[in-house]
Amino acid sequence: MSTSPSRWRRFACMMYEAVLLFGVIFLAGYLFDTLTQSRSGLMLRHTRQALLFVAIGLYFVLCWRKQGQTLPMKTWNIRLIDRNGASPPLSRLILRYILIWPIPLVAAMLVRAASHASGYSSTDLLIVAAPFTLFLWTWIDADQQFLHDRLLGTRLIAVPDTPKHPV
């Protein structure tokens, strides 16, 4: 049985992923604004959000489908596998992407509610912590897996570092 990557490794991978996602979101948003002639992020807001959800989903699903890794996962030697150690099927990858969202969205709603209840708009800044609520389940899970992975029978494993061959 392969070992789970440490929480710190997954956290570092998540930070690197956020940097790459900035580019994915920027490009998708630029294309959307160019094609729709939007002059404001509030124009066609829900359509924009749906497009960004799909663009981010395509990025993850295509990367996971190819080798079970995104570039940050390769950098941090993390791979996504199913119960049998194989690459999960496309349907499970799509479902995994969708199931990643509920916990951070609930956390974001709680931050918004706290901001509204307290009257301090600066409380909204806590929204940056919402994605990290995914880690809460890892403290309960025996294998330190995320809840969405536990539900789908997928898992993140630590991949041994492969030595680089000198040229």
| 35 part of a folded domain | yes
Give dist(CA 73, CA 79) in Å, integer.
6
Give the domain range for residue 82.
7-158
Q: What is the pLDDT of residues 21-57, one digit of tens each?
A: 999 999 999 999 999 988 877 788 899 999 999 999 9
| 163 part of a folded domain | no
Which pLDDT does position 166 carry in this prediction?
65
How many structural domains is the chain composed of? Answer: 1
Which pLDDT does position 1 carry in this prediction?
55
| 2 part of a folded domain | no
Q: What is the pLDDT of residues 59-111, one digit of tens each?
A: 999 999 988 999 999 999 999 999 999 999 999 999 999 999 999 999 999 99
How many CB atoms lie under 10 A from the CB of residue 73? 23
Q: What is the pLDDT of residues 121-161, one digit of tens each?
A: 877 888 888 999 999 999 999 999 999 999 999 999 999 87
